[in-house]
Structure 1
Amino acid sequence: MSNDFDTKREQLLSELQDILQTAEELFDEGKDVSADEFKKLKKRLTEKSGSYRQQLDDLQEKFSAKTRQAAKQSDALIQDNPYKAIGIAAGVAFVAGLLINRK
């Protein structure tokens, strides 16, 4: 999952850089181009941003699904072993308390 997430993240960052570059072109060339060329640049920017938004939505949905799955697995594990969960939580709290009081 981590590798897939990193790959998607890199793709989105690349897409975002393309959008920013197109936006810079749009603003830099805005004074020197005709209305038709301006519309073409604007259309290109809109298409790229739409693609970026769709990829971001897909990545968010996948991440949310994985998070929900992990939460369900954690819940099932805790319900199956409640005393172990309580013991681990108490141990973590004890260690945290020791570290906090250790000034």
Structure 2
Amino acid sequence: MLTSNIKTVRNDMKTLVKDAQDLLREASLATGEKADELRARGLALLDTAMERAQEVQAVALEKGKAAAQSTDEFVHEHPWKAVGIAAGVGLVVGMLISRR
């Protein structure tokens, strides 16, 4: 689910930035009141993009904290399992690195 949300937000961000860039390009060619309107719309799109990015950052931070907390609790409750898991992961990573 997190991966799906990240992809959705990434696509939304790309679309918002592209729309803002298009509006700002059009505004640079326009003059007067129309240019002001286009610039304002572009800035509003960029503000929306920044808000979405901050929301995603906050969610990622909360999920990261929760994962760290649960990992910490697991290690304190099962230290030898944690050592075994770490050794196994280290062994697999070492084998993968040595194959190159």
TM-score, structure 2 normalization: 0.81
Partner of 1:66: 63
The 5 Å alignment of 1:19-34 reads 19-27=20-28, 29=29, 33-34=30-31
Aligned-partner Cα distance in 2 for 1:98–1:6 = 32
Which AA in structure 1 matches 2:84?
A: G
Does structure 1 residue 43 correspond to structure 2 residue 40? yes
- Could you list the runs of 5+ residues in structure 1 that have no partner in the other structure? none
Given the superposition, is the C-alpha separation of residues 40 and 91 from structure 1 closer, same or farther in structure 2, using an over 3 Å criterion? same
The equivalent of 1:12 in structure 2 is 13
Letter in 2 for 1:72: Q
* C-alpha RMSD of the superposition: 2.0
**1:58 to partner: Cα distance:** 0.8
**Per-residue deviation at 1:47?**
0.9
- Give the gaps of 5 or more residues in structure 2: none
- After superposition, residues 53-92 of structure 1 pair within 5 angstroms as 53-92=50-89
TM-score (norm 1): 0.79
| Structure showing greater Rg | 1
Deviates further, 63-72 or 5-14: 5-14
Aligned equivalents of 2:57 and 2:78: distance in 1? 31
Deviations 1:34-91, CA, capped at 9 Å, x for gaps = 3222211211111111111111111111111111111111111111110011122223
